[in-house]
Structure 1
C-alpha cells in the first residue's frame, strides 16, 4: 500500500509527463509550432548532453555517500549485527537501483531491455528497403530509422533517479519535523551535519533539474505512449523495492527516524 507521500510523488511525476504531452497535443491540434529555438528543444543543450543523459551517474554517487553518512550517523559506534544489517540494506538498495538502470539502458546480456523492445516492435527502414539489424547503432550506421516503440529512456532514467532520491531523503527530512528533532540532532557531529546538509542539497538540486528535463522531454521529444511507458518503467523498481518489498521486509527500507529515537527497541527488531 502506498503512503500518502508516495502517492503524491507518483501523481506529481505522472502529471508532469501528462502536462508535457498535453501541450504537445494541443500544439498539434491547433497547428501551433512549439518553440524550437528554446534551449530545451535542442538535443544538444548542455543540460541534456552533460546531465540528463548521465542522470543515474550524477545521482548515484552523492546518493550513496548520503546513504552511508546517514546510516553511520544514526548508528552507534559499536559494531554489532544491527549495524551490519543497516549497511547491508544500503548496499541492497543502491546496488539493485544501479543494476536496474544497467539492465534497462546499458546491457542485458547484449542489448539493454529498452533497446530490445525498440528492435522487436519494428523494423529498420532504409532509403531502399527493410533491413534486419541487431542493434540501434547498426540501423543508424546504415542510414536507416527504426519504426518500433521508442520507450523514452530519458523519462525512465529521470523518474528512476527522482523516486530513489525521494525515498532515501525522506527519513532525513522526517527527522527535522519531529518534536524531538533538536535532541536527536544533538547526537550528530558537526561534520556529519555538514555532510548530510551538503549532500541533501546536491540531491535536491539534481532532482529539480531532472524534473525540468522530464517535462521538456515529454513536451519536445516523445509521444504520450513513449513518455508514459518510460515513466511507468521508471516507477517499477521503486514500487518493487520501496513499496512491495519494504512492506514485507521493513529492514530493507531506509533507516526509520522513529528507530533512531528509540535505539534500544530498534536493536530488538533488527
Structure 2
C-alpha cells in the first residue's frame, strides 16, 4: 500500500477576502500628516479666513454703495455719520463692534473657560492645566501685538517703523507738550517731546492727533482670527476625538527619539476607557460649553467679514491675518515637532 505525500504549495497566498479585509489594514493606511504642517481638516478650516477677506475686499470694490461712500484713509474707515455711512456695520458704534469686538478677548476667554470646565472630555487637572498654558501663550501674543511689547505694542511699533506718525491738530498738541494748558485742564511736561514722537495710537488719540502715514496692521482682523482659531483648536480636537468623528485623520508628533507617530500614542489609557461612551449628535458632542464657543466663533466670522468689507486696506488686513497665524503656529503646530515644548503645553484633546 503506497502512501500519498502532500507537499506545501508554492503558489502565492490568496488576497484578503471582503470578510477579512479591514479599513485599517496596513496596505490601506493613509500616509501620515507632516508634523510641521496643519492637517487637511485644519487647512480647510483656516482657508475660510483668507476667503472671507478676499470676498470682503471684492465686495467693497464691486458694490457701488460701498465703493462710492466717503472713506478716510487716516482712520481706515468710512464716514461714521448715519447719513453717509454705507452700512450700519461700517459704523464703529454698531452694537456688535462695541459689545463684542471691543471686548473680544474677554468673550474668547469666557467661552474657553466655560468649555474646559463643563465638557466631560476635559476632565483631568493635567488637561485643564495644559489648556490654561495654551490660553496664556495666545493671550500673551494678543498683549504683545495690541497692548504692550516692552513699551509700545507691536502694531504701534510697526506703524512707526514704516514711517507713520501722529498728525492733525499739531499746533494744539505741540503747545500741550510744551507745558501749556490742555483742553482738559491739565498740563504735559517735557518740551522736547513733540506730536510726531508719540509712540502709540492711544497716546496720539489722547493728545488730539491721528495716526498717519505708516502701515497699520489691522487689529480687528488679528483679534478675530486669533480668538476664533484658538477656540476651534481647543474645542474642535477635543470634541472630534471624543466623538470619534475623525478617526482617519490624526495629528502626528515627533517623539524624543526622532520617530514620527500619531498623537494618540501619548493619550492616557485611563482616558480611553472613558471615551467608550460616545455622543452621536453635534449638540451632544459639543455640550453647552462647546455650543457657546461655537456661537462666539460664528460672531467672530461675521465681524471679520464686516471688517473685510468696510475697514482697512487689503494689505493691512493681510498682515493682521499673518500676525495672528504666527502666534497660532507656535502654540498649536510647533509643539508637534518639538517634544520638549509639547511636554509643557500638550495638545488639545490629548
Give me the TM-score of the superposition, normalised by structure 1. 0.78
Give the number of the structure whose residues are more often helix, by fraction: 1
What is the correspondence of 1:1-270 to structure 2 with a 5 Å cutoff? 1-27=37-63, 32-33=68-69, 36-70=85-119, 73=121, 85-121=126-162, 122-127=164-169, 131-146=196-211, 147-174=213-240, 175-178=242-245, 184=275, 186=277, 197-249=287-339, 252-256=346-350
Q: Does the 8 Å contact 1:20/1:219 carry over to 2?
A: yes
Q: Does the 8 Å contact 1:160/1:234 carry over to 2?
A: yes
In 1, Cα distance between the equivalents of 2:42 and 2:232?
9
Q: Check 1:195–1:179 CA distance in 2 against 1; reply closer, same or farther (3 A cut).
A: closer
In 2, Cα distance between the equivalents of 1:194 and 1:27?
41
In 2, Cα distance between the equivalents of 1:202 and 1:74?
16
In 2, Cα distance between the equivalents of 1:74 and 1:144?
48
Residue 234 of structure 1: CA displacement?
1.3
SS in 2 for 1:11: helix
Q: Does the 8 Å contact 2:238/2:348 carry over to 1?
A: no
Greater C-alpha radius of gyration: 2
Deviation per residue, 1:78-124 (Å, 9 max, x gap): xxxxx554343222211111111111112222222112212332122
Q: Does the 8 Å contact 1:27/1:33 carry over to 2?
A: no
SS in 2 for 1:160: helix
The CA RMSD measured in Å over matched residues stands at: 3.1
Deviation per residue, 1:35-72 (Å, 9 max, x gap): 834221110001001101221111112203322444x6
Residue 142 of structure 1: CA displacement?
4.1
In 2, Cα distance between the equivalents of 1:90 and 1:141?
37
Q: Does the 8 Å contact 2:234/2:348 carry over to 1?
A: yes
Residue 216 of structure 1: CA displacement?
0.5
In 2, Cα distance between the equivalents of 1:132 and 1:56?
29
Residue 138 of structure 1: CA displacement?
3.1
Count of aligned positions = 242
Deviation per residue, 1:141-168 (Å, 9 max, x gap): 4433222111110100000011111111
SS in 1 for 2:204: helix
Match of 2:261 in 1: none
Gapped regions of structure 2 (runs ≥ 5): 1-36, 71-83, 172-194, 248-271
In 1, Cα distance between the equivalents of 2:293 and 2:158?
31
In 2, Cα distance between the equivalents of 1:223 and 1:68?
40
In 1, Cα distance between the equivalents of 2:203 and 2:246?
60
Higher relative contact order (CA 8 A, sep 6+): 1
In 2, Cα distance between the equivalents of 1:74 and 1:64?
11
In 2, Cα distance between the equivalents of 1:59 and 1:141?
28
In 2, Cα distance between the equivalents of 1:106 and 1:127?
25
In 2, Cα distance between the equivalents of 1:167 and 1:150?
28
Moved over 6 A (4+): none
Give me the TM-score of the superposition, normalised by structure 2. 0.61
